Structure 1
Amino acid sequence: MKHKKIIQVLFAYLGIVAFIAGNNSQVKAQTISPNTGIPPYHILTTDSVYVTPANLKKNKPVMIIYFMPDCGHCQHLMYDLKPQLKNLKDIQIVMISAVLRLKAIQVFQRDFDLAQYHNITIGTEGYTYLVQKYYKIGQTPFIAIYDRDGKLSQTYPRVPTIPVLMAAIKKV
């Protein structure tokens, strides 16, 4: 009797895995090359509002930072970048996380006092992982910089030094 129950649970588990794998293959078919421009993100912000690239201002550079609120490297980046944020007021910064817990992102925003910067949008892409797949992100933080025309200028799959990042931003 006990073995029969284990086999039933195993088959149910395998069915769920097969379902997820089937759905993941559909998501992969939607993956877009990052050379085509800003990814078609759909994020839930800390204000519980959904935003997309359509919300970006035209003719302004964009910096996308893919992060995790509990990532030590992401926190270190923000500690180092924070003194420079006043110099980045003309750059639209979109901070995107895959963390579903909006509260964790709100705490990150509060800890770094990011709400005071009107050029920073911070939120989660949830379980879509569209942005993560778009850039093939393996670790966080990941940074992409776009020029005024929405063309990709530079990506950083690892944390750059702040002088290197600021120099890249000045070029756009």
Structure 2
Amino acid sequence: MKRILLLLILIATVSCIQAQKADTAVKPKPIAPFRILTSDSTWFTPANLKKEKPVVIIYFSPDCSHCQRMMYELKPKLNQLKNIQIVMITWSKDYDIRGIREFRRDYDLKKYVNFTLGTEGYTMLVQKYYEVKTTPYIAMYNSAHKWVKAFDKVPKTEDVLASAKALK
């Protein structure tokens, strides 16, 4: 009898853990209704995105070591992403763009016209919208701007590139 009771408790525990994992899974969402101040001191919103081109939203922090490592590993392969609109969004006090300017300079992103870097200021709208817990957070959308995939933890470079290639 004790063994049966122990088995039932174990099954109930595993079921609860699985249910919690399902609840925290990344859920498909439309592109966030962002408004960012770019490194060029202009405003950028989803209305500025080109129609019929895939979009990758990367929520990052310029001083995040994971974000820096991701960009360091991606940098030699950025030409593989040239047909994808990449919007890198961070937060900053009073829309301070110095950090994103330095990040853009450090990774030579100015020569990639498909990259847009900006800050949402202190609104945290995008961070809340995607429920970002760690950076970098990556949301991928196809050419119809429909959600395809998200990475809510630091992804491997190969996984990002493979997923990006699949966007159409």
TM-score bracket, normalised by the shorter chain, equals: 0.7 to 0.9
TM-aligned CA deviation for residue 34 of structure 1: 6.4
Cα contact 1:65–1:93 (8 A) shared by 2: yes
TM-aligned CA deviation for residue 36 of structure 1: 4.1
Aligned-pair Cα RMSD in Å:
1.3
- Counterpart CA distance in 2 for 1:154 and 1:171 is 10
Match runs of 1:130-169 below 5 Å: 130-169=125-164
- Counterpart CA distance in 2 for 1:36 and 1:97 is 19
Q: Which residue of 2 aligns with 1:170?
A: 165
1:110 to 90, 105, 108: 105
Q: Which residue of 1 aligns with 2:23?
A: none
- Identical positions, percent: 51
3-state secondary structure, aligned to 1:126: coil
Q: Which residue of 1 aligns with 2:53?
A: 60
Deviation per CA, 1:57-102: give whole Å up to 9, x if none: 0000001110000000000000011111111110000000012321
Deviation per CA, 1:34-70: give whole Å up to 9, x if none: 6341111000001110010000000000011100000
3-state secondary structure, aligned to 2:28: helix
- Counterpart CA distance in 2 for 1:135 and 1:44 is 19
- Counterpart CA distance in 1 for 2:70 and 2:28 is 25
Cα contact 1:34–1:134 (8 A) shared by 2: no
Q: Which residue of 2 aligns with 1:13?
A: none
Q: Which residue of 1 aligns with 2:117?
A: 122
- Using structure 1 for the length normalisation, give the TM-score: 0.78
Q: Name the amino acid aligned to 1:54.
A: A
Q: 1:117 to 1:97 in 2, by over 3 A?
A: same
- Using structure 2 for the length normalisation, give the TM-score: 0.80
**Structure 1 residue ranges (4+ consecutive) displaced by more than 2 angstroms after TM superposition:** 33-36
- Counterpart CA distance in 2 for 1:36 and 1:136 is 11
Cα contact 1:68–1:99 (8 A) shared by 2: no
- Counterpart CA distance in 2 for 1:111 and 1:58 is 29
Of stretches 35-44 and 52-61 in structure 1, the one that deviates more from structure 2 is: 35-44
Q: Which residue of 1 aligns with 2:4?
A: none
Q: Which runs of 5+ in 2 are unaligned?
A: 1-25
Larger proportion of helix: 1
